[in-house]
Structure 1
Amino acid sequence: MEFSIQHAKDKPFTHDGLREYFDYRDLGIFEATKGAAVMHVIRASKGSNATGEWHRHELDFQFVYVLKGWAIFEYEGHGEHKLVEGTCVHQPPNIRHREICHSDDFEVLEIVLPGKFKTVAL
């Protein structure tokens, strides 16, 4: 693993992530950890909304921290939850979930292990 300092404000948001209704800012952790982890800031893409599809991720660890705005997620066996600024979520491996809706300014920090993982639509 490499030492890494990233000046995130200098990195652009791109529209090439998992969901078409989000933009992603890579924080360089995938490269620094040689794929062991990925960390990015995810924000709502202007003019788009969540599609509400159920899915799960085949991974070892997923952490989400809400930086701005809000979103409503539903987790199998745990119901609907409104995530707001300051909400911290640990999503266990393979938990079925979906995003129902989000605010226009929704923004989160997400950390995932490993850096490459499979998402399964349900």
Structure 2
Amino acid sequence: MNASGLVVSHAREGGFERGMRSFFEYRDLGINAATQGQVVAHVIRAVPGTEHVSTLHCHKVEFQFVFVLQGWVEFEYEGYGPVRLERGSSVYQPPGIHHREIAHSDDLEMLEIVMPAQFETEMVPAASA
């Protein structure tokens, strides 16, 4: 980053790290630091061979956007049911929407942009699901 706040991220420079979900790895794109925590952008990819377990939850965010770069992922959204996203598909997840991941391909890669960069995730009790 230079004094103007410009951030350039190259795939060859940044590695993936395990994060919030054990079946995904995340590559930070430097937006969190550049915006002083206002926005986070990262590439998420599947970890082949890991067990995938996702329970109904919601995020306390102002904005959440996902764009599938490769592979596919299927989410379930409260009031909408299952939604399958494939390469080139995107979804804007409204703040607080209850959702969970149902399944994904081993080659899944997706871009996620969230505001703010640090946010809480709440599990939804089974009775409200």
> TM-score of the superposition, structure 2-length normalised?
0.90
**Higher deviation after alignment, 72-81 or 43-52:** 43-52
Is the 8 Å Cα contact of residues 49 and 102 (structure 1) preserved in structure 2?
A: no
CA distance in 2, matches of 1:94, 1:120: 9
Of residues 6, 20, 28 in structure 1, which corresponds to 2:9? 6
Cα deviation, residue 49, structure 1: 3.6
- The list of structure 1 runs, each at least 4 consecutive aligned residues, that deviate by more than 3 angstroms after superposition, is none
Q: Give how far 1:50 is off.
A: 2.4
Give the gaps of 5 or more residues in structure 2: 125-129
- In 2, distance between residues paired with 1:101 and 1:70? 9
**Partner of residue 119, structure 1:** 121
Cα-to-partner distance string for 1:78-122 (whole Å, 9 max, x where unaligned): 110111000110000000000011100011000000010001111
After superposition, give the CA deviation of every residue in 1:51-101 in whole Å (9 maximum; x if it has no partner): 131000000000000001011110000110111000110000000000011
What does 1:10-25 correspond to in 2, within 5 Å?
Answer: 10-15=13-18, 17-25=19-27
Q: Which has the larger radius of gyration?
A: 2
Instruction: Please list every run of 5 or more consecutive structure 1 residues that lacks an aligned counterpart in the other structure.
Output: none
2:42 alignment partner in structure 1:
40
